[in-house]
Copies of this chain bind each other. A is one copy, B any other.
């Protein structure tokens, strides 16, 4: 019943040539006569032959798989990133081996090991932080490692960072310009480096300006966390501004502020987010936020694939203030 796949031997036989000839017709820039090529192609077509990439990879001792490790793929920010990345990889003739970490706080080391076992050409870490031992291993084995939004303390890995400092500063300036007197900073309890950086940069600017700030952190990076933050923070009637370090929390916060805590936004309260996820522009939110260009981010990852191994390129993804309607003008 289950017949095996057609192999190059089958094709060679049918075409009346050697296996090498078959291999060559399917290898970019190998020397084959048009005649042989034609015969092979036809035989392959008739037999339904497809190259076995496992065998191919065994030879080159590297596949053209790229391992992608992520978590919380259903959160808009992640989903968008993965969407664009997987398309970009495919376009470059690379395949995406997706390892989903199930949980933002789970250890991604075993997933990366798995990627090694497939002799992937590169590993992209969208979420979580690879242990140093693994960074070393990548280097030793010629596997390109690309880490997004984690600042590793070493100089031999490609790192792609959203410009958190600039973004948070932009947010702070905007809230100052709106005349806010007491400002809340909302972040998750998970304390990812990105969130920490945004939080700190924002606080620094505000403190320097003498603006009263209160930092709130708890729970995962979700809509519900934002909602909860609003409910807990906004009993304080003095708070007239909020910076939520991710849009998904900002949206929850907005909903809590308006629906549960009776605030008018932006009249009573100015809210600003970060990331510019698709939902931020929805009519019910029209969230003023700091955008990171998903295009630039994706391009940076793809470009990093070609960088020489062991050399570190730190790419800062530029940010911009997207003025919509949740901050008083």
Which A residues contact B (CB, under 8 angstroms)?
Answer: 1-5, 48, 50-55, 57-58, 61, 63, 65, 68, 72-76, 78-80, 82-84, 86-87, 90, 95-100, 102, 111, 113-114, 116-119, 137, 140-142, 223, 227, 251-252, 255-256, 258-260, 278-279, 282-285, 309-310
Q: A83-B73, A117-B52, A278-B74 are in contact. Are A227 and B283 (CB under 8 A)?
A: yes
CB-CB nearest in chain B for A59 = B54
- Report yes or no: A54 in contact with B48, Cβ–Cβ below 8 A: no
Q: CA A310 – CA B95 in complex, angstroms?
A: 27
Write the chain B residue with the least CB distance to A142. B2
In the complex the two chains form, is A283's CB within 8 Å of B259's CB? Answer: yes
Alpha-carbon distance A259/B76, docked complex (angstroms): 23
CB-defined contacts of A80 to chain B, threshold 8 Å? 74
Complex contact B117–A100 (CB within 8 A): no
Is the beta-carbon distance between A95 and B74 smaller than 8 angstroms? no
Query: Given A118-B95, A283-B259: A2 and B309 within 8 A (CB)?
Result: yes
How far apart are the CA atoms of A100 and B87 in the complex, in Å?
6
Are the CB atoms of B50 and A117 closer together than 8 Å?
A: yes
Q: Which residues of B contact A51 (CB under 8 A)?
A: 117
Q: Chain B residues with Cβ under 8 A from A258's Cβ?
A: 283-284
Q: With the chains together, A29 CA to B113 CA distance in Å? A: 22
A98 touches B99 (CB 8 A): no
Known: A52-B119, A100-B86, A255-B284. A58 touches B61 (CB 8 A): no
A5-B61, A116-B50, A141-B3 known; A97 vs B99 contact (CB < 8 Å): no
Identify which of B48, B63, B283 contacts A255 (C-beta below 8 A). B283
Docked CA distance A223–B1 (Å): 47
Given contacts A73-B83, A259-B283, A284-B285, 9 further A-B contacts (CB under 8 A): A1-B310, A5-B119, A48-B140, A54-B118, A73-B86, A74-B83, A79-B79, A95-B114, A255-B282
Residues from chain B with a CB closer than 8 A to the CB of A227 are 283
